[in-house]
């Protein structure tokens, strides 16, 4: 009787619990989709009204946009070259990092991962100081800035204008995206059963290096490499600050829009700006949507690849690193750290001109100004506390939101709703495809119409931060869901544990690590602050650390102390970001895949 009663109760409760869960998931998905799409759609409708162009006219009118075609050509070229260079630099590093027993591998991973969450302006300053006239590269004859010596000769022979700027830009993009390659390739390689390699080498199809490449390595790591390359393409495609500083004579679509952005959407005023934004943003959106769709397909293939062994066992099998491996990793770390080191050094140096000759003096004044806020309206301490508050608020919203979205995608997959899961997966990446400027415009116009007071709300910058970080949370949590063993949940159910305890023991315990990784990423991205450009309205009292850096760098630098002050603020930001990544590495499970 009790059993029967119990069964009856269960039968009644189960559908209602499931219904509640489904309704909740639906609500979360709806909130996310509306939050993502509404400002974008609003901005488009506004631009349509101001320009009088239809969707098709905007697309076909792209040819008439001043500088549009050149910007599109340059964007496609630099994004493609950047993703190729990311593969060329990143693959050997990922290969050697994954195939040996490294001491302090977490520290190595953290070093290699930090560029990805570094604010672009800090990266740009780091690279600019590396290629300056008295820098190492120029001393060995590679002048990427003034394009003299070898580069000048190449420019003359090839007729290519500013190849030095192009090389500097794609190298900076490769530096930025290096961790994508490592995060995608390393987990697969470091847990691949060594027996496969050994067995294949005895078969006719694996006798030579080329045949092993064809029959083993390309099928095993190919999708991961392509996945990293396509994401690298996406981030290089939307690059703005690096282009502005490293390739000042060229425009990407994003930088072209940024120049005209502030005057767009105003009826009867600078209509050419609205036409430019409407046309370029639409084309960019379509290209990025296509890239995201390809990335999602590749990632799916990548996550379905192989059954893998324990990473520790595989590493032990391969043994300690060879000299070549040590050299490659050392070069990789140097490549990663050099821009940071040069930013750090710049924070202690100020130019001093005496009798017409310049020398750089060591000084702590940059740091002292940064702390006191003497050269800005805000000191580093206050800006850092703002940054941390925004980062924490972003974490509180983005982590559960991304987690629920990932679990919903997984549930849809499990329930046979394959197309829906793919669509939702793609929708979760939408914030990466939508121009920041369009969202800013949409938020401003929509906010002004319905709720102008929202601009007084100091937590407003959290909104764009959340939109930007949710795709990364989903990308970290989804593979973790895929690697969940359903057996644990079934065992919990057999033990008749409550639904909460079943979830805790069967799911949460296994997702804890990835959640910490996702959380650290969220914090780091928020600290890196992409929000400033997202919001057309920026209140001074909300300034974050990266806004202070940007503010100082954009100011006329007649005063020699402005530059070291900006670099001191940038160094603080780097240290904070690095500490977070180190924390994330402590929690990353050894077989945690992708996870950026």
Partner 1 sequence: MNSKIKAYLFFTLLLTSSVSGCLSEEALESLESENPCTSEIQVRESDGTLKILTYDIAGFSDELIAQFTDQTGVQVEFIRTDDAGGILDQMMLTKSAPLADLMIGLDNTYLPTAIQNCLLMEHSVSNESFTTTSMEFYDGPLALPFDEGDVCLNYDEDALAAANMSVPTSLWNLTEAEWNGKMTFPSPMTSSPGRAFLAATVDYFANSPGNESGNMSSWWNAVAQNGAIFTSGWTESYVNYYTGGYGEYMEGHIGGAYLTVSYCHSPGVEAYFSENYTHSTSLVLPRASFHQVEYTGIINGAAEVTAANQFIEFLTSIEVNGNMPDYNSMYSVRNDTDLPETNGYRYHADQANVSTAITQHLIEQNMDDWLESWQNAVRIN
Site for partner 1 in 265-294 (CB under 8 A): 265-270
Backbone torsions φ then ψ of 305, nearest 5 degrees:
-55, -85
Spatial distance between the Cα atoms of 255 and 284, rounded to a whole number of angstroms: 12
* Least distance from partner 1 to the Cβ atom of residue 255, Å: 9
Q: Does 21 bind partner 1 (CB under 8 A)?
A: no
Taking the CB of residue 330, how many other CB atoms lie within 10 A of it? Answer: 10
Q: In angstroms, how far is CA 59 from the centroid of its own chain?
A: 28
Query: C-alpha angle 289/220/311, rounded to 5°?
Result: 110
* Least distance from partner 1 to the Cβ atom of residue 117, Å: 22
Q: Does 199 bind partner 1 (CB under 8 A)?
A: no
Q: Does 221 bind partner 1 (CB under 8 A)?
A: no
- Tell me which residues in 411-430 interact with partner 1 (CB under 8 A): 417, 420
Which of the ranges 176-184, 317-325, 464-472, 547-555 carries the binding residues for partner 1, by CB under 8 A?
Answer: 547-555
- Tell me which residues in 435-464 interact with partner 1 (CB under 8 A): 444-445, 448-450, 452-453, 455-456
* Least distance from partner 1 to the Cβ atom of residue 535, Å: 10
| Choice from 63, 156, 198, 374 touching partner 1 (CB under 8 A) | 374
DSSP state string for 125-174: HHHHHHSSTTSHHHHTTB-TTT--HHHHHHHHHH--S-HHHHHHHHHHHH
Q: In angstroms, how far is CA 530 from the centroid of its own chain?
A: 10
Spatial distance between the Cα atoms of 313 and 102, rounded to a whole number of angstroms: 13
Q: Of 505, 507, 503, which Cα lies nearest the Cα of 481?
A: 507
Of 134 and 304, nearer to partner 1 (C-beta) is 134
| Choice from 227, 298, 375, 460 touching partner 1 (CB under 8 A) | 375
Annotate each residue in 95-134 with x if it binds partner 1 (CB under 8 A) or - if it does not, as one string: ------------------------------x--xx--xx-
Where do we find the tokens 């703005």?
A: 240
The helix or strand, by DSSP H or E, that contains position 579, with its residue range, turns out to be helix 562-587
Of 176 and 245, nearer to partner 1 (C-beta) is 245
Q: Does 59 bind partner 1 (CB under 8 A)?
A: no
Q: Does 73 bind partner 1 (CB under 8 A)?
A: no
Which of the ranges 45-53, 106-114, 393-401, 518-526 carries the binding residues for partner 1, by CB under 8 A?
Answer: 45-53
Which of the ranges 153-161, 258-266, 396-404, 587-595 carries the binding residues for partner 1, by CB under 8 A?
Answer: 258-266
* Least distance from partner 1 to the Cβ atom of residue 482, Å: 22
Binding-site size for partner 1 (CB under 8 A) equals 74
Annotate each residue in 490-529 with x if it binds partner 1 (CB under 8 A) or - if it does not, as one string: ----------------------------------------
Spatial distance between the Cα atoms of 419 and 147, rounded to a whole number of angstroms: 51
Q: Does 88 bind partner 1 (CB under 8 A)?
A: no
- Tell me which residues in 459-488 interact with partner 1 (CB under 8 A): none
Of 6 and 540, nearer to partner 1 (C-beta) is 540
Spatial distance between the Cα atoms of 39 and 263, rounded to a whole number of angstroms: 17
* Least distance from partner 1 to the Cβ atom of residue 30, Å: 5
Q: Are 237 and 256 in contact (CB under 8 A)?
A: no
* Least distance from partner 1 to the Cβ atom of residue 234, Å: 24
Query: C-alpha angle 538/457/403, rounded to 5°?
Result: 95
Q: Does 335 bind partner 1 (CB under 8 A)?
A: no
| Choice from 32, 46, 243, 480 touching partner 1 (CB under 8 A) | 46
| Choice from 323, 356, 494, 496 touching partner 1 (CB under 8 A) | 356
Q: Does 569 bind partner 1 (CB under 8 A)?
A: no
Strands (E), 289-424: 349-354, 357-362
Residue 149 backbone zone (phi > 0: left; psi -120 to 50: alpha; other: beta): left
Where do we find the tokens 């793609």?
A: 426
Where do we find the tokens 């009292």?
A: 541
3-state secondary structure 42-91: HHHHHHHHHHCCCHHHHHHHHHHCCCHHHHHHHHHHHHHHHHHHHHHHHH
Q: Are 265 and 279 in contact (CB under 8 A)?
A: no
Of 360 and 587, nearer to partner 1 (C-beta) is 360
* Least distance from partner 1 to the Cβ atom of residue 511, Å: 25
Q: Does 262 bind partner 1 (CB under 8 A)?
A: yes
What six digits make up the tokens of 334? 């140097």
Of 440 and 514, nearer to partner 1 (C-beta) is 440
Q: Does 353 bind partner 1 (CB under 8 A)?
A: yes
Spatial distance between the Cα atoms of 271 and 470, rounded to a whole number of angstroms: 34
Q: Which residues pair with 122 in a beta bridge?
A: none
Which of the ranges 98-106, 214-222, 244-252, 393-401 carries the binding residues for partner 1, by CB under 8 A?
Answer: 244-252
Taking the CB of residue 24, how many other CB atoms lie within 10 A of it? Answer: 12
| Choice from 557, 575, 579, 586 touching partner 1 (CB under 8 A) | 557
């Amino acid at each position: 009787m009790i059993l029967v009663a119990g069964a009856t109760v269960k039968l009644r409760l189960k559908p209602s619990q499931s219904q509640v869960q489904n309704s909740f998931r639906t609500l979360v998905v709806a909130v996310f989709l509306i939050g993502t799409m509404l400002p974008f759609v609003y901005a488009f409708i506004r631009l349509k009204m101001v320009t009088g162009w239809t969707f098709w006219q905007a697309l076909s009118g792209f040819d008439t946009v001043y500088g549009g075609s050149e910007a599109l050509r340059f964007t496609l070229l630099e994004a493609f070259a950047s993703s190729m260079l990311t593969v060329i630099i990143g693959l050997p590093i990922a290969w050697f990092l994954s195939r040996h027993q490294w001491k302090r591998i977490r520290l190595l991973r953290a070093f290699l991962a930090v560029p990805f969450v570094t604010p672009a302006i800090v990266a740009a300053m780091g690279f600019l100081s590396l290629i300056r006239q008295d820098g190492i590269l120029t001393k060995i004859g590679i002048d990427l800035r003034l394009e003299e010596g070898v580069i000048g000769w190449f420019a003359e022979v090839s007729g290519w204008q500013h190849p030095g700027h192009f090389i500097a830009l794609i190298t900076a993009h490769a530096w930025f995206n290096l961790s994508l390659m490592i995060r995608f390739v390393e987990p697969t390689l470091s847990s691949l059963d060594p027996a496969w390699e050994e067995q294949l080498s005895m078969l006719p199809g694996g006798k030579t290096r080329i045949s092993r490449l064809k029959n083993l390595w390309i099928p095993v790591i190919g999708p991961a490499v392509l996945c990293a390359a396509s994401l690298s393409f996406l981030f290089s495609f939307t690059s703005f600050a690096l282009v502005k500083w490293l390739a000042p004579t060229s425009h990407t679509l994003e930088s072209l829009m940024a120049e005209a952005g502030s005057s767009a959407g105003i009826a009867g005023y600078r209509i050419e700006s609205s036409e430019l934004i409407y046309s370029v943003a639409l084309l960019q959106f379509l290209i990025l949507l296509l890239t995201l769709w390809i990335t999602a397909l590749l990632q799916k293939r990548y996550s379905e690849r192989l059954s893998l062994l324990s990473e520790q066992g595989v590493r032990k099998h391969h043994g300690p690193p060879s000299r070549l491996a040590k050299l490659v990793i050392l070069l990789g770390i140097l490549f990663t750290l050099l821009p940071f080191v040069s930013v750090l050094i710049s924070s202690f140096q100020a130019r001093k001109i005496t009798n017409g000759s310049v020398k750089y003096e060591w000084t702590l004044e940059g740091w002292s100004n940064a702390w006191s806020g003497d050269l800005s309206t805000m000191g580093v301490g206050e800006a850092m506390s703002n940054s941390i508050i925004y980062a924490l608020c972003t974490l509180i919203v983005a982590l559960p939101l991304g987690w629920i979205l990932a679990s919903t995608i997984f549930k849809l997959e499990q329930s046979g709703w394959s197309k829906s899961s793919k669509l939702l997966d793609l929708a979760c990446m939408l914030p990466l495809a939508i121009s920041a400027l369009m969202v800013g415009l949409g938020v401003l116009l929509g906010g002004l119409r319905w709720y102008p007071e929202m601009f007084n709300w100091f937590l407003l910058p959290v909104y764009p931060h959340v939109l930007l970080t949710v795709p990364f949370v989903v990308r970290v949590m989804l593979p973790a869901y895929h690697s969940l063993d359903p057996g644990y949940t079934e065992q919990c159910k057999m033990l008749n544990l409550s639904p909460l305890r079943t979830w805790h023991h069967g799911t949460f315990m296994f997702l804890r690590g990835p959640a910490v990784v996702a959380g650290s990423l969220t914090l780091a991205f928020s600290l890196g602050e992409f929000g400033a450009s997202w919001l057309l309205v920026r209140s001074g009292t909300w300034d974050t650390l990266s806004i202070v850096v940007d503010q100082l760098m954009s100011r006329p630098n007649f005063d020699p102390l402005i530059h070291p002050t900006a670099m001191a603020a940038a160094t603080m930001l780097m240290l904070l970001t690095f500490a977070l990544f180190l924390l994330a590495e402590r929690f990353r499970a050894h077989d945690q895949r992708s996870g950026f």
